[in-house]
Structure 1
Amino acid sequence: MDTRFDLHHETRKTKITQSVEDVGAIFNSVFSVELATSPEEINEIFELRYQVYCIDRPFEDPNCFADKREHDAYDPRSAHALVRHRASGDGVAAVRIVMSGNTPEQAYFPMEGSCVHQMDRHAQNAFAGEPRERIAEISRMAVSREFRRRFNEDRSTSGISDFASYSDWENGKRALPYISLGLFAAILQMSVKHAITHWTAAMEPALLRMLKRFGVEFDHVGPVLEYHGRRRPAFTEAASMIEGAKKRRPDVWSLVTDNGRHMPAQSTTDCMTAEKDVA
């Protein structure tokens, strides 16, 4: 697979003159967001996850997946998405949202037992106060090895470190994490489709800091834990996060919502009015 992640070349090739704040145009000139609905797309995601979670960063035992496709019991009640590289057609990143199932045994989320109880009381109350069918866990965020190596981010499953540096032909080196913002656009699209109003996640601290720099802030963020690597549990109302991003970074809001086409439903509870605790 030769993905050739050269934003300098591809942005020039598409002849798009980018402004400093034109995050969406830069992303869309090179990548696309794709909700995975076919067996072929799901298999592509499982193969990418196997490479990231079993080989590159072996949080899972590769011997458990003879077909070289990493999957688990949560996948049947999840929605899946890819970020695809336009020029090559390759899927370069993937993410899922895990939703509550139809039985009591499927009510719990993957991170819940290990992480939620270690958050502060406000966060625990907010989590407990929302209907389960309106919550989704952001999970299995993975960026392909080729992409991470291209940008010297091969030590992180999400492809983000505190010193991530990306370039485009007009402005030179810039800290623009296109892939992670594209994955968040995918998360929002899946959430709107499935009427999700709240997100929970256990995320790499560097990824949370990067998202905050670009105006994407979780309402509640807990302490650093050892959970598939160093992670911080987080919980937020999707609508409040997106509204905050619109105020802080309209350009990022435009990318994530596709210029307002994908907007999350408002929560019917007031649990999230408590004082925020952000990273």
Structure 2
Amino acid sequence: MKNKEDIGNHYSKYFRMVNVNTEELKTIAYQLRHNVYIEEFGYHEFDEYDEYSLHCLLFHKPSNQAIGYIRLIPQIKKFNNQLPIEKFYNEPFDFNATRINKVERTNIGEVSRMAVMSSFRRRVSDNYRMDQEHLKQSENIVSPNNRYPINYLPMCLVSAAMHFAFVGNMKYCLAMVEPKLAILLRRLGVQFDQIGKPFEFFGTRVPYVFYPESTYKNLSPEFRILSDKIIEELSEPNVIKNTAHINAR
């Protein structure tokens, strides 16, 4: 990659987003989550919301391997429309500094379980300067010396969550986000507001409200192109065939 405008082309060459809409793809998704959350970090990983969630996998084309995952949990009548974050965050949410006044009981969801395989996450040589919140979208995202500009993979997963939210006509979603990831997502252009204090949930997490529509409108041109490519992929029946061997370990 020679410049920032190449992000969309680089994505199309190396990656593909896929709806998890078969049992085979679910098996792959859960295996990836197991590898990241349990084997790497020791988190509790499965819950009763999986059956009702919208799942998405990010595939690496050259290896035909699933390397990223995200899900969106809609409100479920069986659980009295209560989302996981509302169970685990034991204090009232604070909406004083947000664009909403309270948690609406219809047309919302929760974004969770964002995961990227360790080999595709930040490397020391990539030097993303995640502590500098003032950086512009896509600054330091690409470098001709990097094998892959892996810093944009979180935006791929966020774009998948936006697609699910648009399909479900959700004006906003809740999320429990690790602080460093929140810094990176904000730098990429993700629009969200903090609605509570940091709390302990398999590490430090912060409750946020995420705005899909304003995020999409706020994206810089190169990330808008990337998101459009992903939304288009997820709007098609794009089951990957011959996946039984993928991520087999």
Q: Does TM-score exceed 0.5, indicating one fold?
A: yes
Q: Report 1 or 2 for greater relative contact order, CA contacts < 8 Å, sequence distance ≥ 6.
A: 2
Is 1:81 paired with 2:56?
A: yes
Task: Please give the alpha-carbon distance, in whole angstroms, between the structure 2 residues aligned to 1:121 and 1:195.
Answer: 21
Residue type of the alignment partner of 1:254? I
Alignment of 1:116-265 (within 5 A): 117=91, 119-122=93-96, 126=100, 128-132=102-106, 134-148=107-121, 151=123, 162=130, 168-169=143-144, 177-245=151-219, 249-258=220-229
- Name structure 1 gaps, 5 residues minimum: 1-16, 61-69, 154-159, 263-279
Q: CA RMSD in A?
A: 3.2
Residue type of the alignment partner of 1:146? S
Asked if 1 retains the 8 angstrom alpha-carbon contact of 2:193 and 2:210, the reply is yes
Task: Please give the alpha-carbon distance, in whole angstroms, between the structure 2 residues aligned to 1:166 and 1:52.
Answer: 23
Match of 2:23 in 1: 39
1:40-99 CA-partner distances (Å, limit 9, x unpaired): 111101111111111110012xxxxxxxxx532001110000110000110001111111
Is 1:102 paired with 2:77?
A: yes
**Any idea what SS the aligned residue of 1:122 has?**
coil
Bigger shift: 252-261 or 92-101? 252-261
**Any idea what SS the aligned residue of 1:177 has?**
helix
Match of 1:24 in 2: 8
Identical columns (%)? 25
- Figure out how many residues of one structure are paired with residues of the other and give that number: 224
1:241-269 CA-partner distances (Å, limit 9, x unpaired): 22222xxx22112212339859xxxxxxx
Change (3 A) 1:243 1:43: same
Is 1:49 paired with 2:49?
A: no
Task: Please give the alpha-carbon distance, in whole angstroms, between the structure 2 residues aligned to 1:127 and 1:107.
Answer: 18
1:9-33 CA-partner distances (Å, limit 9, x unpaired): xxxxxxxx64323322222221111
**Any idea what SS the aligned residue of 1:88 has?**
coil
Asked if 2 retains the 8 angstrom alpha-carbon contact of 1:95 and 1:187, the reply is yes
